[in-house]
Amino acid sequence: MRYEAPQSVDTAVALLAEAAGSAHVLAGGTDLLVRLRSGHIEPELVVDIKRIEGMRAIVEEDGGWRIGAGVPSAELGEHAGVRGAWPGVVEAAGLIGSTQIQGRATLAGNLCNASPAADSVPAMVAAGATARIAGPGGTRDVAVEDIPTGPGRTSLRPGEFVASIYLPAPAPRSGDAYLRFIPRTEMDIAVVGCGVALTLDEGGTCIAARVSLGAVAAKVLLVGKAAAALVGTAVDDTALAALSAACSEACSPIDDKRGTVAFRTHVAGVLAERAARIALSRAKG
Amino acid sequence: MALDKQAETAKRQFKVVGTRPNRPDGIDKVTGRARFGADAVAPGMLTGRVLRSPHAHARIVKIDASRAAALSGVKAVVTRADFPEPPAHVADVLDNCMAGAKALYDGHAVAAVAAVSPAVARRALKLIEVEYEVLAHVTDVDEAMQPGAPVLHEGRTDETVPEGFSGNVISRCEFGHGDIEAGLAKADRVVERSFRTAATHQGYIEPHACLAQMGPDGQADLWCCTQGHYMVRNTCAAILGMEVGQLRVTASEIGGGFGGKTTVFLEPVALMLSKKAGRPVKMVMSREEVLRASGPTASTSIDVRIGMTKDGRITAGDAVLRYQGGAYPGSPVGMGSMSAFAPYDLENVRTVGFDVVSNRPKQAAYRAPGAPMAAFAVESVIDELAKSLGLDPLDVRIRNAAVEGTKSSYGPTYPAIGAKATFEAAKAHPHWSAPLGENQGRGVACGFWFNFGGDTCVTLNVNLDGTVSVSEGNPDIGGSRASMSMMAAEELGIPYEQVRTIIADTGSLGQNEVTDGSRVTFAVGLATIEAARQAIRVMCARAAKIWGIDEDAVVWEDGAAKPAGPNAGQFPPMSLAEIAAVASNTGGPIAGHCEVNAEGAGVSFATHIVDTEVDPETGAVKILRYTVIQDAGKAVHPDYVEGQFQGGAVQGIGWALNEEYIYGEDGRLQNPGFLDYRVPVASDLPMIDTVILEIPNPGHPYGVRGVGETSIVPPLAAVANAVSAAAGVRLTDLPMSPPKVQAAIQAARG
């Protein structure tokens, strides 16, 4: 196995593009190193992107925030700007692993690991985040929900990697929230995850919403029908019931060691309603 | 006799016993200096690795290891063919360490290699070609018992098993007295229910690890993490056809065992690899290997019938217990059957147990083996009866409590015991009457454990400067070095800091039983006290010699020899240090020994109270408050005793709520890691409150009873009773994971 730590995006792209066998990008390494040490993967090349300029930076851009692919969750959690704009995203990232893992784990890594149960991804999807992809053809921006295509699979092409995540400027009177269900209180993986972001007008009517579910399908879902249940309402009990029903309906989970189809489907609705209530109270300030 | 001893013990004013000195292994463990199993190293050491069966049940047709053996850096390959035909008493142990004709569970060892590096060893495993004939498998206890189930072993069923079962039912046991049907006929209410519990793992932090070195002269050394290095020595010697004296085993520090390290897994394989390679071989299990192929406890299926009068007297208790203990006979169903009704004084009681094999790893002991599941079933039914009759569950237990003189459900008549005292203390505890909120419920349950003594050796050496070195042969898993030092200091009348206790290797002491059965503080403590008394007799004799008076005229008080009275002569006391300093001139070094098969381990009881809150929408359970009340006989070091109470409660909470072995349709373990095998984390738990009761054990000089195991017996039932109260529906299937609780609530509420 070859380990490379290039100092520029171009070098990293070239290394990844030229790799003959399996090549893996190393950011925080909290998924990669575990799989490596357990023998589940035997990569030919590992490209550590943390030494590339900008990868460890959080930069304000057009009122939003650009977060480098090497920024760990712990730094995100200490960033007042990001926390103020998208508390749900920061809370979701803060749920990943343990305190020690938080010092390494990144949003970009969580996204590219492409687990349907990734905690930060539904929150990013609800926030309307985009990923900036560097590759042999230059850079392109892609909606976060379009990166994972299935468990462990992404839409990234050979030689490409995610260089940063962009969280847009939230509209006035907006709020977001992420909740997950786990059997324990921490150190666990989502049985169901739900991110909700919504915006109110001055009269308190919901004018925009995005709702996303994790761990209930082969990839994280953006549930348009659930968002539509909120838009045009005061996010009252009737709207929340419709949101809950739409989320349960959108689920196509599997029965596995972490939960049954019936349980996941039911809990998706419960969490969506609870997350929406938090997002609503945040939108109201 | 017993009462006199008890009175004497109760009168004694202790100076060291009952205090809370610093633990002797604390700094080493906090700083990382402590040497655990995986920390052992030797020059020229090789890495050993095991190839494991991916099949739950398969005939091993052929193993071709020639390509692995030819790989550069591979120094030895071992299969079952390398081992001699084993003596009968270790045949199953060997077959579990290295499969013979069949692989009997997912993860069963089929071959092993020793190589110059972990990478080479890993590559070598991939080069071993095993031809399997895959067979039908069974992992569920009830299915395994059915006629027509895939049978693991032909001809192992013994004469106790009636017709109508598959060959996986190995034996049947029965305990009790009285007439069940007559008793039930006198009841105002009878509740009959069936229960199931999943297999759980002890979940020790430290994976199994060992370093083996066997020379061409046949002498061998083994370093390993174990609860009993004498057991390791005896078992490995039998498997390898060695003389016991040729194998020396040294126990490392141990990162938890809870019963799971009372047998061998890697050790005979490492010795055989070392023998073939001519070099030391180190083996360390991964967590996945620990979960797939060490010794979890049994999964169970239990039916209980109990009758009660409307004023709360139990008229009869009846239970059928079925425990699958993995691929070999020996599930703890006997102890489950004996302990199920042990806290109660019953006229009519019967338990019937079935020992069943299935395609799972061979079970090992897990803290009070067999008892928590039985208590779960019985204590759940008692709770249901009490509530349905409008009675306080603790009043019902007080009403039926076993006391001194009660003929126990498993035969013996009890001496002084603490069952009723724990019930009464629970009733009086503020927890029992504290208010509860919405979706909250309180549960209570009782538990019993036998406790054990057994073969024990202690040597106590008085050093030249008046310090004392104690050697014991039981790995310190729960603070025994501190406890032994304290009991030696108490008896000798010197400060705790003057005594250091070590765990000696197998060459240094005679036979010692494994650290199990909550035996060490009792049995090794008893031996330590006796060894100290022997050293005191020697020191008194030395003082007598110096003073020129009779040995009988010297007494030992406050750490010094003194003339027994004015008639004995006028001499200033000689301290232990003063006697030690001149020992060479008075006859030589001073020591005390005790070699004993310790009897008189007193049984122990605990009562737990727990409050839970259930989220009715998700089935999530939160533990709000937890109180353990247990009889310790005499708490030598109360910190450790409280730690045992808390640790048992927490393991039981995990068992009750989320821990389980999950097998797929293919018979493979689905959750071999701590992500999906869910032990409780710190944030899942409140501080576990403890109450130590001290009802002295008449069988120990200081009244000590074992405390390590009883504490895991009540929590399964206590939590189930609390969750059932909070959810408004009786839960009978462990673990009570959120999907199950949510489904039960939904079904009950419609």
Q: Does B612 touch chain A (CB under 8 A)?
A: no
pLDDT, tens digit, 9 for 90 and up, residues B470-517: 999 999 998 999 999 999 999 999 999 999 999 999 999 999 999 999
Chain A residues in contact with B739 by the CB 8 A cut-off are 259-260, 262-263
Distances from the Cα of A245 to the Cα of B617, B644, B647, angstroms:
14, 47, 42
Nearest CA in chain B to A267: B618
Percent of chain B residues topping a pLDDT of 70: 99
**C-beta atoms of A257 and B619 within 8 A:** no
**C-beta atoms of A38 and B681 within 8 A:** no
| Residue B665 C-alpha, separation from nearest chain A C-alpha, in angstroms | 11
Could you give the residue range(s) of every CATH 3.30.465.10 domain in chain A? Answer: 2-167
Q: Among A184, A185, A257, whose Cβ lies nearest the Cβ of B670?
A: A257
pLDDT band at B9 (very low <50, low <70, confident <90, very high): low
Which of these three, B598, B628, B653, is where a domain ends?
A: B598
Residue B639 in any domain: the answer is yes
Look up residue B660 and give its DSSP letter.
-
Higher-scoring residue by pLDDT: B671, B1: B671
Residue B201 in any domain: the answer is no
Give every strand in the sheet of A161-167, ordered side by side: A58-61, A64-68, A161-167, A130-135, A138-143
- Residue where the block lists tokens 């938080």: A102
**C-beta atoms of A260 and B617 within 8 A:** no
Residue B402 in any domain: the answer is no
Residue B398 in any domain: the answer is no
B424 and B465 housed in the same domain: no
pLDDT, tens digit, 9 for 90 and up, residues B163-174: 999 999 999 999
pLDDT, tens digit, 9 for 90 and up, residues B195-229: 999 999 999 999 999 999 999 999 999 999 999 99
User: What are the b/e assignments for B50-82, b being 16+ CB within 10 Å?
Assistant: bbbbbbbbbebeebebeebeebebbbbbbbbeb
pLDDT band at A40 (very low <50, low <70, confident <90, very high): confident
Q: Does A188 touch chain B (CB under 8 A)?
A: yes
Q: Among B618, B658, B683, whose Cβ lies nearest the Cβ of A267?
A: B618
Compute the distance between CA of residue A160 and CA of residue A19 in angstroms, rounded to an integer.
12
pLDDT, tens digit, 9 for 90 and up, residues B390-436: 999 999 999 999 999 999 999 999 999 999 999 999 999 999 999 99
Could you give the residue range(s) of every CATH 3.30.390.50 domain in chain A? Answer: 174-283
**C-beta atoms of B738 and A270 within 8 A:** no
Which of these three, B581, B598, B615, is where a domain ends?
A: B598
- The answer on pLDDT for B1 being more than 50 is no
**C-beta atoms of B742 and A267 within 8 A:** yes
B613 and B735 housed in the same domain: yes
Nearest CA in chain A to B739: A263
B464 and B576 housed in the same domain: yes
Domain with B561, as residue range(s), is 453-598
Q: Among B286, B288, B676, whose Cβ lies nearest the Cβ of A257?
A: B676
- Nearest Cα to Cα of residue A268 among A211, A200, A183: A211
**C-beta atoms of B678 and A183 within 8 A:** yes
Percent of chain A residues topping a pLDDT of 90: 96
Q: What's residue B749's pLDDT? A: 87
Distances from the Cα of B123 to the Cα of B112, B118, B210, angstroms:
12, 9, 21
Q: Does B27 touch chain A (CB under 8 A)?
A: no
pLDDT, tens digit, 9 for 90 and up, residues A150-205: 999 999 999 999 999 999 999 999 999 999 999 999 999 999 999 999 999 999 99
Which of these three, B598, B614, B638, is where a domain ends?
A: B598
Helix (H) or strand (E) holding A264, with range, is helix A261-283
Please determine, looking at this structure, whether the domain spanning A2-167 carries the CATH number 3.20.20.120. Answer: no
CATH number at residue B562: 3.30.365.10
Percent of chain B residues topping a pLDDT of 90: 97
B620 and B747 housed in the same domain: yes
B423 and B499 housed in the same domain: no
Q: What's residue B10's pLDDT? A: 54
Chain B residues in contact with A185 by the CB 8 A cut-off are 681, 683-684
Cα–chain center distance at A283: 21
Phi/psi for B733 (5° steps) reads -125, 115
**C-beta atoms of B738 and A263 within 8 A:** yes
Q: What is the dotted CATH code of the domain comprising A174-283?
A: 3.30.390.50
DSSP B141-196: HHHHHSTTSPPSSTT---TTSPSSS-TTEEEEEEEEES-HHHHHHT-SEEEEEEEE
Mean pLDDT within A136-140:
96
Best B125, B291, B617 member to test A by mutation, with max A CBs in 10 Å, is B617
pLDDT band at B2 (very low <50, low <70, confident <90, very high): very low
Q: Does A281 touch chain B (CB under 8 A)?
A: no
DSSP H helices, B419-496, are 419-428, 430-433, 480-492
Best B120, B287, B618 member to test A by mutation, with max A CBs in 10 Å, is B618
Compute the distance between CA of residue B23 and CA of residue B409 in angstroms, rounded to an integer.
39
Q: Does B662 touch chain A (CB under 8 A)?
A: yes
| Residue A53 C-alpha, separation from nearest chain B C-alpha, in angstroms | 35
Give the mean pLDDT of chain B.
96
**C-beta atoms of B738 and A185 within 8 A:** no
Chain B residues in contact with A270 by the CB 8 A cut-off are 617-618
Q: What is the ipTM of this complex?
A: 0.95
Q: Which residues on adjacent β-strands are paired with residue A211? A: A196
Chain B residues in contact with A262 by the CB 8 A cut-off are 739, 743
Mean pLDDT within B246-254:
98
Between positions 718 and 737 of B, the ones with CB within 8 A of A are 737
- Nearest Cα to Cα of residue B407 among B395, B417, B397, B399: B417
pLDDT, tens digit, 9 for 90 and up, residues B44-79: 999 999 999 999 999 999 999 999 999 999 999 999
Three-state SS letters, A174-203? EEEEEEEECCCCCCCCCCEEEEEEEEECCC
Residue B492 in any domain: the answer is yes
pLDDT, tens digit, 9 for 90 and up, residues B278-313: 999 999 999 999 999 999 999 999 999 999 999 999
B565 and B587 housed in the same domain: yes
B736 SS3 class: coil
pLDDT band at A277 (very low <50, low <70, confident <90, very high): very high
pLDDT band at B353 (very low <50, low <70, confident <90, very high): very high
Chain A residues in contact with B680 by the CB 8 A cut-off are 184
- The answer on pLDDT for B519 being more than 70 is yes
Number of domains in chain B: 2
- The answer on pLDDT for B365 being more than 90 is yes
B460 and B552 housed in the same domain: yes
Q: Among A185, A266, A270, whose Cβ lies nearest the Cβ of B683?
A: A185
Q: What's residue B548's pLDDT? A: 96
Residue B636 in any domain: the answer is yes
| Residue A57 C-alpha, separation from nearest chain B C-alpha, in angstroms | 31
Taking the CB of residue B413, how many other CB atoms lie within 10 A of it?
10
B475 and B499 housed in the same domain: yes
- The answer on pLDDT for B7 being more than 70 is no
Q: Among B122, B618, B657, whose Cβ lies nearest the Cβ of A39?
A: B122
Q: What's residue A20's pLDDT? A: 77
Q: What's residue B88's pLDDT? A: 97
| Residue B317 C-alpha, separation from nearest chain A C-alpha, in angstroms | 35
Q: Among A184, A258, A270, whose Cβ lies nearest the Cβ of B618?
A: A270
Size of the A and B interface in Cβ pairs below 8 Å:
53
DSSP B286-336: -HHHHHHHS----EEEEEEEEEE-TTS-EEEEEEEEEEE-TTSS--THHHH
Mean pLDDT within A11-31:
94
| Residue B199 C-alpha, separation from nearest chain A C-alpha, in angstroms | 14
Compute the distance between CA of residue B526 and CA of residue B633 in angstroms, rounded to an integer.
13
Q: Among A183, A257, A270, whose Cβ lies nearest the Cβ of B617?
A: A270
Compute the distance between CA of residue B680 and CA of residue B658 in angstroms, rounded to an integer.
8
Helix (H) or strand (E) holding B338, with range, is helix B333-339
B548 and B644 housed in the same domain: no
Compute the distance between CA of residue B225 and CA of residue B193 in angstroms, rounded to an integer.
41
**C-beta atoms of B676 and A191 within 8 A:** no
Compute the distance between CA of residue B505 and CA of residue B658 in angstroms, rounded to an integer.
39
pLDDT, tens digit, 9 for 90 and up, residues B112-159: 999 999 999 999 999 999 999 999 999 999 999 999 999 999 999 999
B476 and B492 housed in the same domain: yes
**C-beta atoms of B681 and A266 within 8 A:** no
B439 and B551 housed in the same domain: no
B463 and B555 housed in the same domain: yes
Chain B residues in contact with A183 by the CB 8 A cut-off are 620, 657-658, 678, 737-738
pLDDT, tens digit, 9 for 90 and up, residues B563-587: 998 888 899 999 999 999 999 999 9
Q: Tell me whether strands B129-134 and B58-64 are parallel, antiparallel or unpaired.
A: antiparallel
Nearest CA in chain B to A261: B739
